[in-house]
Structure 1
Amino acid sequence: MHRRAFLATAGLGGLVGIAGCAGSGPAGSGDTGGSGGGSGTPRQSATATDGSPASVPPPERFRNVELPVPEDELNRGASEDGIPAIVDPVFADDWSAVDDSLSDDSRVIGVVRDGDARAYPLAVLNWHEIVNDSFDLPVLVTYCPLCGSGVVADRRIDGHPAVFGVSGLLWNSDLVMYDSVTDSLWSQLLGTAIRGPATGTELTLLPATMATWGEWRAEYPETRVLLPPPESNTVRGRRQARDYDRDPYAGYDRSARIGIGYNDFSDDRLDPKASVIGVYADGVARAYPREAVWEAGVVNDTVGDLPVVVSASVNGSLVAYDRRVAGETQSFERDPATATGDGTGDRTASAVLRAGDSTWGLLTGEGRAGPLADTRLRRANDRSQLFWFAWADFHPETEIWRP
């Protein structure tokens, strides 16, 4: 069955999706599978296709990438839908109703919109990689275990809600998704369609936080958390075929392996698996290594013309914010009460940033106290913290912040 026809038969308002980093399928074929995403013949717009062909436009440049990405640069890490994206997600206050465990140290991607806080455990995303959700707008939550990267976006394409799924392909070791509206292929980290009718279309990225479940729940006691299948529905139905207490990538973050073996990364300025948070502004890219940021406590810096503050929690959760508040550039420090420099403090405590007499939550950027308590810090980063090799692959001219 054609992929778009299959998607039209499933849930979530008549749509479903798929995406993928690595899995059980044959590796390295470079076969894109499907139709629109692998055709290499982009149509003129990113709206729903009508079946009429169009001439292939000349390649275009997006940052340092020439689009469409050549088909032979894509590597297959899993079969299409072999990593089943979540559709119709179900949430609860905790995991007490399921057989799997969620500890305070479990990492989550946290999203807040209009006071509605939700957590998406990596224990689920390691197996599914994509969650098609809805807040006040259709939201796409993605995680690539090979790159350690979380990206959250508005999943509308030219105003049409789309469901994204796991193509099973990799590009630069990163998750390649496809969508149900244009049947195009999308780079997770680029947030852009790289092959198919929507080539060059960018998703609108949304603020998100990579944190531990304990940290996130301390910041948002009313948060809800995603439940694993079979409670949540997937593109393959409500069946539990995974052990969510087992990390399928256990040890990967400490190994020398990059992706599934098709990455010739050679920038040795940092260990390839070093955790960094990246900021890109005014044509300047800069990576902030977690260890260096932790040692510094707080980094007040400027990237291009953007003044930024970067810090890390006791659990190693990295954040980057715009230092401009109420029309003035602030100089930040860690509140001494929450700056546990030896890393042995309360691992669920709410860390605080301070500028003058005002304070903000470190993980949320929300004003806490003082004359600027009604302000919220704006994110300076579009992607979560991630492995150094993944940031450098997409920003080869990146600088590295050093103390």
Structure 2
Amino acid sequence: MTFLTKYKKTLIYFLLSLIPISLGIAVYLLYPMFVKKPAPIEELVVQPVLELEEPEVAEVMNAPETEFLSQYSDKGLDYDLTEIDGTPNKNMFADITSPKFLDVSAETKLEDTELVASFHIKDDYRAYPISYMYYHHLVNDTFGNQPVLISFCGICNSAIAFNPVVNDQSLSFGVLGVLYHNDLVMYDRETDSWWVQVTGDGISGNHKGTSLEIIPGMEIVEYSDFKSGHPDGKVLQPVPGYTSQYQQFDYFDIAEERTRSGRSGAAADYNQVLGVQVRGVAKAYIFDDIEDTKVINDTLNGWSLLILKDPDDGGVRIFRRLLDDRVLDFEVVNSELKDIQTGSIWNFQGSVISGELEGESLLQPDYLELYKFAWEGFYPDTTYYTP
């Protein structure tokens, strides 16, 4: 009997046992050739974290009286995001993205005493019932080819129109579901940046440090005044499926509760004011001090201002009194608005209707209409007009 014959089975078992070992060695040697090596640590891409630090304070501009500029582009405000109240909830309120309107002549649901936010571009006057805006807060609207963001904060009682176009991109806005200094915080769907409604400032995200352009002219008036002043106007219609939400929230009580503790007595003041800020200096005019039989010729940090109340629709407005390098003074005589220098007759929208200056119009600076405590929340060093 030969050696192979004697140990045949043992040799076979030995050779078979080498197969898995050989396969293991082959896998070990060949694996790096077919599998991409992980990138070294220094090559890994780290996704940026949302920055929450405060933006740099803008320098105060020293523009001359003759230069018209948007004061709110240099507000010099600091935003501390630790003061945000609440947790983001984008499903809390539904903004309006496809608004429907009805002619004033066909509107039958609104009572004459109901409040509306009135806004217009040229002769296109639109009323946004406050009872609807309490819930929706935002209307992504369009006037002709011009997109316009209509915003309302029920706690601050602030209705503001913005140009939502930023860097040639039209943004669509929703309600974030949190507050900053009792004011509504918005977000845009394109970049998820956060924006403060009172100022239009971007406070986080890609557009942090950017400001939306305020379109002057938004006013809160009674519907009867809107109808009489703008009989060809249009009225925002309720959104189907949300009518039960209207008038659900008592925002006055919420605002009072949020501001009663830990703030000065003036902060609990719910007088409506017109606030304006010129190159770092803020001033407010209490509505009750603005009469429809008189006008206020005022100055603020080098700007000559006109503040008035329209007797036709009840709107409170502010204008620059500067026209072609000349400062004008105004008065109301026999219910007519006149400038003292030329005697020209003006309408209460700031345009000349007869006289030497016929065809001319005054420019409107950025301004806000809101509760006194809300204005002070952003401009605590404000002064007030005293009659």
Q: TM-score, normalised by structure 2?
A: 0.74
User: What corresponds to 1:292 in structure 2?
Assistant: 289
Q: SS state of the match for residue 300, structure 1?
A: strand
Instruction: Check 1:57–1:386 CA distance in 2 against 1; reply closer, same or farther (3 A cut).
Output: closer
User: What corresponds to 1:53 in structure 2?
Assistant: 48
Larger radius of gyration: 2
Q: SS state of the match for residue 378, structure 1?
A: coil
Distance 1:214 1:322 in 2: 28
Indicate the percent of aligned positions where both proteins have the same amino acid.
Answer: 27
User: What corresponds to 1:73 in structure 2?
Assistant: 83
Contact 1:172 1:263 in 2 (8 A): no
Distance 2:256 2:189 in 1: 26
Q: SS state of the match for residue 261, structure 1?
A: helix
Instruction: Check 1:326–1:107 CA distance in 2 against 1; reply closer, same or farther (3 A cut).
Output: farther
Instruction: Check 1:128–1:149 CA distance in 2 against 1; reply closer, same or farther (3 A cut).
Output: same
User: What corresponds to 1:266 in structure 2?
Assistant: 263
> How do 1:313-324 residues align onto structure 2 when only pairs under 5 Å count?
313=310, 317-324=315-322
- The answer to which structure, 1 or 2, has the higher relative contact order (CA under 8 A, 6+ apart) is 1
Contact 2:202 2:210 in 1 (8 A): yes
> How do 1:2-401 residues align onto structure 2 when only pairs under 5 Å count?
53=48, 56=51, 59-62=54-57, 63-67=75-79, 69-70=80-81, 72-76=82-86, 79-94=89-104, 96=106, 101-135=109-143, 136-210=145-219, 211-230=221-240, 239-242=241-244, 244=246, 246=247, 248-249=249-250, 252=252, 258=255, 261=258, 266-269=263-266, 272-294=269-291, 297-313=294-310, 317-337=315-335, 353-356=337-340, 357-362=343-348, 364-383=349-368, 385-401=369-385
Contact 1:308 1:380 in 2 (8 A): no
Contact 2:84 2:180 in 1 (8 A): yes
Q: SS state of the match for residue 232, structure 2?
A: coil
User: What corresponds to 1:12 in structure 2?
Assistant: none
Q: CA deviation at 1:174?
A: 0.3
Contact 2:52 2:204 in 1 (8 A): no
AA aligned opposite 2:119: V
Instruction: Check 1:273–1:55 CA distance in 2 against 1; reply closer, same or farther (3 A cut).
Output: closer
Distance 1:395 1:216 in 2: 30
User: What corresponds to 1:9 in structure 2?
Assistant: none
Instruction: Check 1:184–1:319 CA distance in 2 against 1; reply closer, same or farther (3 A cut).
Output: same
Superposed CA offset, 1:154-176 (max 9, x none): 11122111110111100000000
Distance 2:286 2:52 in 1: 40
Distance 1:361 1:105 in 2: 25
| Structure 2 unmatched ranges of 5 or more | 1-45, 58-74
Q: SS state of the match for residue 87, structure 1?
A: coil
Superposed CA offset, 1:256-298 (max 9, x none): x636526756344586211110111122110111122239821
Distance 2:260 2:88 in 1: 16
Distance 1:137 1:203 in 2: 14
Contact 2:176 2:185 in 1 (8 A): yes
User: What corresponds to 2:386 in structure 1?
Assistant: 402
AA aligned opposite 2:381: E
Q: CA deviation at 1:226?
A: 1.1
Q: SS state of the match for residue 86, structure 1?
A: coil
Contact 2:201 2:212 in 1 (8 A): yes
Distance 2:260 2:89 in 1: 19
The structure with the largest helix share of the pair is: 2
Contact 1:298 1:309 in 2 (8 A): yes
Aligned residues: 320
Superposed CA offset, 1:87-129 (max 9, x none): 111111038467xx22333222222224322222212111211
Contact 2:164 2:171 in 1 (8 A): yes
Distance 1:54 1:249 in 2: 37
